[in-house]
Amino acid sequence: MDEPLSELDRRTFLQALGSGLLITVTNPNGWAQGTPVSARLFLNGDGTITALSGKVEEGQGPRSELSQAAAEELRVPVERVRLVMADTDLVPDDGITAGSRTTPINVPEMRRAAATAREMLTALAARQWKVDPATLAVRDGVITSPTGRTMTYADLAKAKDVAAALGQAVRPDVALTPVQDWKTLGQSVPKSNARDLVTGAHRFPSDVVRPGMLRGRVLRPPAYGATLESVDLSSAKAMGDVVAVREGPFVGFAAPSSHRATQALEAAARTASWKMSPRSVSNDSLFEHLGTHARRDEARAEEKGSAETALRTADRVLTGSYRVAFIQHAPMEPRAAVAEWSGDRLTVWAGCDGPFRAQQLLSEALGIPRERVRVIVPDMGGGFGGKHTAEAAVEAARLARAAGKPVSVRWTREEEFTWAYCRPAALIECRGGLNVSGALVAWEFTSINPGGAAIGTPYAIPNVRIASVGSDSPLPQGSYRCLGATANNFARESFMDELAAAAGSDPLEFRLAHLENSRLRAVLEKTAKEFGWAARRRQVTPERGVGLACGTEKNSVVAACVEVRLDRSKGRIEVTEICEAFECGPILNPANLLSQVQGCIVMALGGALTEELEFAEGKILNPRFSRYRVPRFRDVPRIDVHLVENRDVPPAGGGETPIIAAAPAIANAVFAATGVRLRSMPLRGEALRKS
């Protein structure tokens, strides 16, 4: 697997995985008759199956789920499926791994391919036996006739017409196994490579070692907007074992060790002269900046009734303005890639969410045709939406080309905090109107900068105006786990709490009175019951509060109740308990889903309480874990997760939406205890000291 593969190589390689089966795949992106089964599945000589997916494993669990999907429909134990992921020479382009799309899109695709394969293999057996295929049963990879004759997948792998059979197109309408008959899906199948993760044997992108490989470092500007005027590379070159490269704005160094590469970088950095482009926005002036630069005229608004009229005639009108700081993904493994050239062909092992997107980026940056670039994404060390780009891959490829040797580039934590894109900051303006009986009759919601995820209201309100407004982001921003949904849900669920208080209603009752979405009602009622909402609400003291919030996004629903304890003299908010109910349809892998929900809850605590990128004059001021606090063991409250299964809807992803409920529930709990409304994430307890 050293170089890009020709189509013949691909076949040879896949055969070498275990079969004598010849397959023909010519164009992974455009088959006239639909995608052939063989683009996704290979039957190996021993009856095992090689399944292919363009998705990336970064801890969220697609390796298990896609293997389960193939095993379920092929009727084989999951151990007999070997899943090859994210290698542009071997797998179909399944798009970038993002947006909770693997479960609703790629799992069904895999199931359809596997179900079609099972039908074709059954048909082959039926033809040999001259019986009706409908009379044959498949179990554990064995096809059985009514008279008791059997044929295994291993037998069929040797049949001469099997290649033609699996070369047929996946049937879009093939019958899939109903949820109640699932044997492999719905089970807590662990990751097939879990053993390699506990022994240190797994090679993450930053662990890949190639013969003669060098380590690379890249010269970074001192601030955003700074451009390089001059740099003296002679001292780096004089080190003897260092390759120094300047290609336009790119300056980098490759050396036999990262220690030497860093020494070369530091020597050159001292000589660099930069043209600064001063930026006046800092985290202190951020929200004013977002507000002033909001492109309100270009807003895409969703309107129902007339919010404006209803606000004029409402009995009471409330306004609220909410803020969400920039935060970083901070995956444990920073961006990393190894690039290796072989003639004019390039192979890159990269930690990124989109192998085919990276292939395109590399092709453009290096000026070589796409088909000469192979990108492989080994299971990587976290992403959370932060690795849609492939900067390290391009940097490694430039250095490797100049050095004539493979080069590994791994960003430092400081580079990751400074130069990786961040989650968008948000300024959200709300107006709401209540009628005399305390019902919500008007809702105006203007969300500046975070984007439209979960911007709509799930509550039944007759007059609504909801707008997503772009602005000028002073920092590079991009995707993040559930993206703008966290900001929009924070504002909406906090403001709902304000309205409930104004209406003199219990926050749970107020929501339920306006909530028609039965799935959302179900999780809200579930968490309230499990938490003991009604009783604990009555026990609120100035030092101990409870709050709740709910929300829906990406076809899943979530609700959380929290308890906070407050030390007002110290301005300290401690979350002591979170009870969260989550529903995303039928559950594909309960243990993995539980990990994802627990993970979302703890990650949510960071954005809710402590995480904030501080910046001024184009510089990130806290680019270190010692100055940017992410949740640690001792920050974890009692966490009580209730996975609600709903078999009446198709499966949806579960790795994002569970993050959106905690922050507003905490703010609401603080309000319940103190009457102080915190409207900025992270929620700072200092305000409690003053009140």
DSSP state of 6: P
* Residue 198 near another protein by CB under 8 A: yes
Least CB distance from residue 117 to another protein, whole Å? 30
Q: Taking contact as CB under 8 A, which single stretch among the options 54-62, 144-152, 281-289, 607-615 is the one that binds another protein? A: 54-62
β-bridge mates for residue 548, sequence order: 561
Least CB distance from residue 296 to another protein, whole Å? 36
Q: Are 622 and 561 in contact (CB under 8 A)?
A: no
Nearer to another protein, 125 or 604 (CB): 604
* Residue 658 near another protein by CB under 8 A: no
Could you give the angle at which helices 391-403 and 355-366 cross, rounded to 10 degrees? 40
Q: Are 265 and 237 in contact (CB under 8 A)?
A: no
Which of positions 77-116 make contact with another protein (CB under 8 A)?
none
Nearer to another protein, 104 or 331 (CB): 331
Least CB distance from residue 413 to another protein, whole Å? 4
What distance in Å separates the CA atoms of residue 74 and residue 176, rounded to the nearest whole number? 10
* Residue 378 near another protein by CB under 8 A: no
Q: Are 336 and 392 in contact (CB under 8 A)?
A: yes
Least CB distance from residue 572 to another protein, whole Å? 17
Q: Are 613 and 283 in contact (CB under 8 A)?
A: yes
Peptide bond into 331 cis (omega under 30): no
3-state secondary structure of 531: helix
Nearer to another protein, 214 or 520 (CB): 214
Which of positions 590-629 make contact with another protein (CB under 8 A)?
591-592, 595, 598-603, 624-626
Which of 137, 164, 175, 194 lies at the binding interface for another protein (CB under 8 A)? 194
Least CB distance from residue 466 to another protein, whole Å? 31
Lateral strand order in the sheet of 426-434:
300-304, 463-469, 440-448, 426-434, 316-324, 680-681
Nearest CA-CA partner of 59 in 197, 188, 186, 185: 197
CB atoms within 10 A of CB 308: 13
Nearest CA-CA partner of 508 in 542, 482, 531: 531
Least CB distance from residue 267 to another protein, whole Å? 15
Per-residue x/- marks for another protein, 153-192, CB under 8 A?
-----------------------------------x-xx-
For Cα atoms 628, 326, 687, give the angle at the middle one, nearest 5 degrees. 75
Q: Taking contact as CB under 8 A, which single stretch among the options 55-63, 125-133, 267-275, 390-398 is the one that binds another protein? A: 55-63
Nearer to another protein, 545 or 607 (CB): 607
Least CB distance from residue 94 to another protein, whole Å? 20
What distance in Å separates the CA atoms of residue 560 and residue 543, rounded to the nearest whole number? 20
Least CB distance from residue 205 to another protein, whole Å? 10
Q: Taking contact as CB under 8 A, which single stretch among the options 131-139, 194-202, 492-500, 525-533 is the one that binds another protein? A: 194-202
SS3 content of the chain, % helix, strand, coil (to 5): 35, 25, 40
Least CB distance from residue 196 to another protein, whole Å? 8
Nearest CA-CA partner of 689 in 582, 575, 569, 578: 569
Task: Identify the H or E element spanning 546.
Answer: strand 544-553
Which of 259, 316, 370, 570 lies at the binding interface for another protein (CB under 8 A)? 259
* Residue 331 near another protein by CB under 8 A: yes
* Residue 232 near another protein by CB under 8 A: no
Which of 10, 171, 183, 203 lies at the binding interface for another protein (CB under 8 A)? 203
* Residue 206 near another protein by CB under 8 A: yes
Q: Taking contact as CB under 8 A, which single stretch among the options 52-60, 119-127, 225-233, 544-552 is the one that binds another protein? A: 52-60
Chain CA centroid to CA 85, Å: 16
What distance in Å separates the CA atoms of residue 494 and residue 482, rounded to the nearest whole number? 18
Show the tokens assigned to 647. 């078999």
Nearer to another protein, 203 or 279 (CB): 203
> How many residues of this chain bind another protein (CB under 8 A)?
58
What distance in Å separates the CA atoms of residue 524 and residue 508, rounded to the nearest whole number? 8
β-bridge mates for residue 422, sequence order: 477
* Residue 437 near another protein by CB under 8 A: no
Nearer to another protein, 39 or 267 (CB): 267
DSSP states of 428-450: EEEEEEE-TTS-EEEEEEEEESS
Q: Are 250 and 398 in contact (CB under 8 A)?
A: yes
Lateral strand order in the sheet of 137-139:
137-139, 142-144, 150-152
Per-residue x/- marks for another protein, 563-592, CB under 8 A?
----------------------------xx
Nearer to another protein, 22 or 201 (CB): 201
Q: Which residues bind another protein (CB under 8 A)?
A: 58-61, 188, 190-191, 194-195, 197-204, 206-207, 209, 215, 257-259, 329-334, 379-382, 384, 410, 412-414, 591-592, 595, 598-603, 624-626, 630-634, 636, 639
